[in-house]
Structure 1
Amino acid sequence: MRQTTDHLHPLASPETPTTGHPHRRADQHEAVTGEDQAILADTYSTIKPAAVRRQIQALTTELIALATGKNTHEESLAGRRRWCR
């Protein structure tokens, strides 16, 4: 059976890794320079996945409340201030 590359991203070359963590795939991509790799490493080291998840959940909850009319603007701002510290 012949393997096809139809499942690859349109910009990905056959040499581009298609498995693994997105940060590592980006880091290993042929178009990423050494300077880009340093920027990625610095940025990635500051990301706190649990905090990001909590912030996404809070914003999603806020959006649902706003969309359903179950939240006032003041309550919305209070919630946002709590997560943007």
Structure 2
Amino acid sequence: SMNSITSDDVINATEKGAALTLSGSTSGVEAGQTVTLTFGGKTYTTTVTANGSWSTTVPTADLAALRDGDASAQVRVTNVNGNSATATHE
């Protein structure tokens, strides 16, 4: 799953001026597994921690390049048995 992108799920002009941390949690996925996040046409990778959480930072330049309007985020993770899960946050 993925946490809210911002407190109101809208990236305003002020928030576009600073890096943004996107985060979430997994269940049934081992620590160290790769999480792939697609947001604003860019792909970011991170790993699952021991408690099942994950986070990655979207750089300021990538946020500044976002067009006004809706942007969705998609997260994908696969466990060691090859079972994958995808979550979308709009």
* Larger helix proportion of the pair: 1
Tell me which interval the TM-score lies in, with the shorter structure as reference length: under 0.3
Per the normalisation by structure 2, the TM-score is: 0.20
Per the normalisation by structure 1, the TM-score is: 0.21
* Larger strand proportion of the pair: 2
